[in-house]
């Protein structure tokens, strides 16, 4: 799991852009405009790299953007992703935990209207230095 950057080729179409990643077979997407295309490209690149990591398959070395051949109306740009962040975003399954706290602390937290789950999540994130 890591941060990656790969070149993508954006080719204009009637309704936006068709986007391919030359370093991967079958890694492509499309976007309504450039901003949407970049967002979609980040998503499909993250999905592809997460899949390769999970299958313990070789991750190809990124091509140099200047080595890419594009049609006259197409352009190449770098797209980055972080598979650790992508995994967090895609895995928000709740896990039930049982814990014990002193009765007086429970009473004070209930009286203050605290959400125990949220407080625990916030505390864990702080302890793990997760933003």
DSSP string across 45-67? HHHHHHHHHHTTPPPPPPPPGGG
Return the percentage of the chain with pLDDT > 70, whole number: 98
Q: Specify the 3-state DSSP secondary structure of 74.
A: coil
- Residues of the chain below pLDDT 70: 1, 131
pTM confidence score: 0.70
Domains along the sequence of the chain with CATH: 3-90 (3.30.160.250), 94-131 (no CATH)
User: Is there a contact between 28 and 21 (Cβ–Cβ < 8 Å)?
Assistant: yes
């Amino acid at each position: 799991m890591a941060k990656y950057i790969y070149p993508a080729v954006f080719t204009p179409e009637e309704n936006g852009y068709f986007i391919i990643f030359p370093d991967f077979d079958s890694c492509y997407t499309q976007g309504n405009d450039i901003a949407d295309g970049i967002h979609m490209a980040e998503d499909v690149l993250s999905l592809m790299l997460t899949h390769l990591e999970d299958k313990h398959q070789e991750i190809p070395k990124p091509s140099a953007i200047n080595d890419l051949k594009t049609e006259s109306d197409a352009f190449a740009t770098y797209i980055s992703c972080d598979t650790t962040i992508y995994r967090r975003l895609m895995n928000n399954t709740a896990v039930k935990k049982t814990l014990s706290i002193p009765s007086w602390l429970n009473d004070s937290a209930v009286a203050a209207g605290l959400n125990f789950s949220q407080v625990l999540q916030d505390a864990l994130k702080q302890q793990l230095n997760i933003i």
